[in-house]
Amino acid sequence: MSRIDHCCIIELPRVTDPRGCLTFIEANRHIPFKIRRVYYLYDVPGGAERGGHAHKALHQFIVAMSGSFDVVLDDGIQKKRFHLNRSYYGLYICPMIWRELDNFSSGAVCMVLASEFYDESDYLRDYNAYLATLGLK
């Protein structure tokens, strides 16, 4: 089993009634980690790309709260592209996965739940260094 196979789309609970829909996310129940940080990308210009790095220890869960975008995951062996366009599911990303986000629709909001506080030393921002850390180069 390749590392990338630990990353998956997780469908979230949905409470729907005539007044609209409600979705909730509980740490360690719907997603496999405790949430320490939430951040979001918005006002992303057409054609922009985000990401372009891996995290050594961070677990993340990405939800398209509005609009749509693609997340491309790469574990140095396999690549997978996920299209996110609903706020009732998201993509779980385990540590040591290279990710790129692109194809943002206008008005897209990308919410990220993260297992740790922001820590620049957790980032691998150079692809070759990432492969070397995995022992693939």
- Contacts with ligand TYD, residue ranges (CB under 6 A): 37, 39, 41, 50-51, 118
Q: Which is nearer to ligand TYD, 41 or 72 (CB)?
A: 41
**Least CB distance to ligand TYD at residue 129 (A):** 15
Q: Which is nearer to ligand TYD, 41 or 109 (CB)?
A: 41
Tokens of residue 25, six digits: 């996310």
Q: Which is nearer to ligand TYD, 24 or 39 (CB)?
A: 39
CA atoms within 13 A on the CB side of 1: 4
Residue 120: enclosing H or E segment and its boundaries?
none
Q: Which of 6, 30, 53, 59 is catalytic?
A: 53
**Least CB distance to ligand TYD at residue 1 (A):** 26
For residues 115 and 57, what is the distance between their CA atoms, to the nearest angstrom? 9
Name the one residue in this structure whose structure tokens are 């620049």. 120
Q: How far apart are the first and last CA of the chain?
A: 20
**Least CB distance to ligand TYD at residue 87 (A):** 19
6 classed as catalytic: no
Give me the sign of the Cα torsion angle 74, 78, 82, 88: negative
Which residues are identified as catalytic?
53
